[in-house]
């Protein structure tokens, strides 16, 4: 009787363990599927946006458009570089403005809703790992200075000023590491992108007008 009880208890324990592991694995798979779905939705949104833009400009403008937009992701190119070049190549300033703000917003959303991408990128690239370490050091310095309620303003300035390492990517990562809520990061990125893009566009257009 004791052997049967012991055997039954062992089988029940094994069944419980296997069921728990299965559920845990299923939960992980569902989570991964959910994450990939969010990532795919954002990528699809970006692709649809670019297709719509391509229908509003000429083939010649589109040729410069996608090249400059690609350069936007490669340091040291930034707004202060691609906006004047784009307008100079005939791309409508309003199209450039909407495009850059939208891309900044989509990139920020991708980062803060798919943090696993950052972890994956860090594990695959020494350069990204080095940049990530620098951002962590900045976070530590910001936290040590205890800016308090002024911290969102500091983050906005970081997003706004076009120096090396700033922008929607770094701002989104910094905001996440500092514990900002997602909606607050999006607001900072959106405001910073609108102001900086608009300011650079106006300065360049006015500069050309004065020069002529």
Task: Write a three-state SS string for 137-173.
Answer: HHHHHHHHHCCHHHHHHHHHHHHHCCCCCCCHHHHHH
Residue 22 has a pLDDT of: 44
Residue 96 has a pLDDT of: 93
Q: Which two tokens stand for residue 185?
A: 């990061």
* Domain contains 49: no
Give the range of the structural domain holding residue 25, as residue numbers without chain letter.
1-40
Exposed/middle/buried for 19, CB within 10 Å: 0-12, 13-18, 19+?
Answer: exposed
* Domain contains 92: yes
Residue 131 has a pLDDT of: 76
Q: Are residues 137 and 185 in the same domain?
A: yes
* Domain contains 187: yes
* Domain contains 133: yes
Q: Are residues 66 and 131 in the same domain?
A: yes
Residue 32 has a pLDDT of: 62
Best CA proximity match to 142, nearest among 117, 110, 174 = 174
Give dist(CA 99, CA 104) in Å, integer. 9
Give dist(CA 205, CA 211) in Å, integer. 10
Contact 112, 35 (CB under 8 A): no
The per-residue pLDDT string of the chain (212 residues; one tens digit each, 9 = 90 and over) reads 555 555 556 655 665 665 455 445 544 555 566 777 788 889 999 999 999 999 999 999 999 999 999 888 877 778 888 999 999 999 999 999 999 999 999 999 998 988 877 777 777 777 777 777 877 787 777 777 777 777 888 888 888 876 555 688 888 888 888 888 889 999 999 999 999 999 999 988 887 777 76
């Amino acid at each position: 009787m004791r052997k049967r009880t012991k055997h039954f208890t062992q089988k029940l324990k094994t069944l419980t363990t296997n069921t728990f592991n299965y559920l845990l694995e299923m939960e992980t798979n569902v989570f991964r599927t959910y994450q990939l779905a969010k990532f795919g939705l954002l990528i699809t949104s970006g692709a649809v946006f670019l297709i719509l833009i391509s229908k509003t400009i000429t083939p010649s403008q589109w040729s410069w458009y996608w090249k400059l937009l690609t350069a936007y992701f490669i340091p040291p190119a930034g707004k202060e570089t691609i906006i004047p070049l784009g307008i100079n190549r005939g791309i409508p300033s309003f199209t450039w403005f909407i495009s850059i703000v939208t891309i900044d917003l989509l990139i920020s959303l991708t980062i803060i809703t798919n943090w696993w991408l950052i972890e994956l990128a860090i594990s695959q690239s020494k350069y990204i790992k080095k940049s990530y370490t620098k951002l962590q050091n900045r976070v530590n310095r910001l936290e040590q200075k205890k800016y308090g309620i002024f911290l969102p303003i500091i983050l906005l300035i970081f997003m706004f000023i076009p120096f090396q390492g700033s922008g929607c990517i770094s701002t989104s990562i910094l905001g996440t590491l500092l514990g900002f809520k997602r909606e607050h990061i999006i607001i900072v990125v959106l405001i910073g992108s609108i102001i900086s893009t608009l300011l650079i566009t106006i300065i360049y257009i006015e500069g050309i007008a004065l020069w002529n």
